[in-house]
Structure 1
Amino acid sequence: MFGNMSKILGQLQGLQQQLKELTVEATAGDGLVRVIMNGQQQVLAVRFDPDRINATAPEELGQMLAEAYRQAQQASKTKARDEFSKATGLNIANLPGIF
């Protein structure tokens, strides 16, 4: 039993590193705002289209940023779940709150 546990812990440590290196990108406002996030749901970058940002109202820009963030977070969680399932052989897609 402990042999399996150490194997699983090793897999999970490797998975943590994979998730740190995995990236997703989401956009809003037809590409005006881009959010890049890793598989640990950490924001790596926020980018704006410099040719269009000055013509956008601050409130609208804030809404776009929030939307791009939500999309990136959902994509990151989905990828993290998929990677966890691949690494462990466990299907956790229907377990709420895991990722």
Structure 2
Amino acid sequence: MAGFGLGKIKELQEAFQKAQQVQAGAQKLQEELEQMEIEGSSEDGLVKVVMSGNQEPRGVTIAPEALEKGAESLANLVTEAMKAAYVESTDTMRSKMEELTSGLNLPGM
């Protein structure tokens, strides 16, 4: 029986340690993302949407001037703000995950 010496056992131990680090970090990151408030707004700033870091909707603020633009325009402004918040949230999540996994030399990451 060849090929499974002490070097391989040490590599396996290191891999398990890295996996545990990533798991603990991912759990902490999930908690951080839940607490974050990320804002996106329409281009004109009349509508603002707040989401958590994991994209849970938290609230919408609509300026009175946005109401005067009519229902269709207001819908477009809300959609624009939602997209902006979503992009910001996704970028934040991606950045935090890269921080978590940097230096771990994980295959496929």
When the two structures are superposed, what TM-score results if normalisation uses the length of structure 2? 0.74
1:24 corresponds to: 38
Give the unaligned 5+ runs of structure 1: none
Once the 2 structures are TM-superposed, how far is the Cα of residue 54 of structure 1 from its aligned partner?
Answer: 3.5
2:85 corresponds to: 72
Percent of aligned positions that are identical: 27
Alignment length (residue pairs):
90
Structure 1 segments of 4+ aligned residues over 6 angstroms from their partners = none
Give the secondary-structure state (helix, strand or coil) at the position aligned to 2:50.
Answer: strand
1:86 corresponds to: 99
Q: Does 1:60 find its partner at 2:73?
A: yes
- The Cα RMSD (Å) is 1.8
Of the two, which has the highest radius of gyration?
Answer: 2
Once the 2 structures are TM-superposed, how far is the Cα of residue 2 of structure 1 from its aligned partner?
Answer: 2.3
Once the 2 structures are TM-superposed, how far is the Cα of residue 87 of structure 1 from its aligned partner?
Answer: 1.8
Q: Which moved more, 1:76-85 or 1:2-11?
A: 2-11
Correspondence for 1:49 among 51, 57, 63? 63
Give the unaligned 5+ runs of structure 2: 1-14
More helix by share: 2
Once the 2 structures are TM-superposed, how far is the Cα of residue 29 of structure 1 from its aligned partner?
Answer: 5.3
More strand by share: 1
Distance 2:66 2:57 in 1: 20
When the two structures are superposed, what TM-score results if normalisation uses the length of structure 1? 0.81
